[in-house]
Amino acid sequence: MDVLTTLIVIAIVAIAAFFIAKPYFKEKSETTNSDIVPPSPEQNLLELNLLIRKAAIGSALTLKCETIIDQLIAIFPRVEKHECASGEFAWTVKRIATEYLPNKCVLPFIGLKDDARDGASEEFINNLQILEQELVDIDTLLSKNDKKEFENKSLFLKAKFNAEGKA
């Protein structure tokens, strides 16, 4: 019976220690999770640039992609600070960088086998050219202060680049 009493005491101490320590572990995990900061669109673009270089898609296509990445990185601070650029406009421009360019344009092309890339390269180049022209238009728009034009462009970009598939 002495052994049974000892086991009961150990069990009671273990249960008490568990309930005493439980809030500490819960607090610790909540603060740890809140410290995680998602990567910025610029960081996502730099990672995409590395993937493009590793994929060896050819120097002309790599240069075209890098030009678009450079345009986006240059546009972000201007969009954030511009007085006429609404939150939706800024969100749409960031979405081009975080969703459209990588997930609907570049990564599907990179994922193709070399022989399939040859057949898809014309469409890929066309999508990159459309995107590059839109970024030039956005850059020009940022030089203006026409709120209505920003609203119209925001609606246009949202419809164009948030749709499924091509630009």
Q: Decide: pTM greater than 0.85.
A: no
Give whole-number Cα distances, 95 to 24, 35, 72, 147, 161, in Å: 39, 23, 11, 21, 8
pLDDT digits (tens, 9 = 90+) for 86-129: 677 778 788 888 888 888 889 999 898 888 888 888 898 998 99
State residue 66's pLDDT score.
92
* Token pair 């086991």: residue: 7
What's the DSSP call for residue 68?
H
With contact defined as beta carbons under 8 Å apart, do 145 and 83 qualify? yes
* Token pair 């970009």: residue: 157
State residue 165's pLDDT score.
46
State residue 91's pLDDT score.
80
Angstrom distance (rounded) from CA 75 to CA 25: 43
**Alpha helices (H) in 35-85, listed in sequence order:** 41-55, 59-81
Angstrom distance (rounded) from CA 139 to CA 36: 32
Handedness of CA 57, 98, 134, 76 (dihedral sign): negative
What's the DSSP call for residue 162?
S
Does 16 score more than 80 pLDDT? Answer: no
State residue 99's pLDDT score.
84
pLDDT digits (tens, 9 = 90+) for 27-77: 555 555 556 777 777 888 888 889 999 888 888 999 999 999 999 999 888
With contact defined as beta carbons under 8 Å apart, do 48 and 101 qualify? yes
Give whole-number Cα distances, 151 to 74, 127, 138, 147, in Å: 21, 24, 12, 6
CA dihedral 118, 119, 120, 125 (to 10 degrees): 70
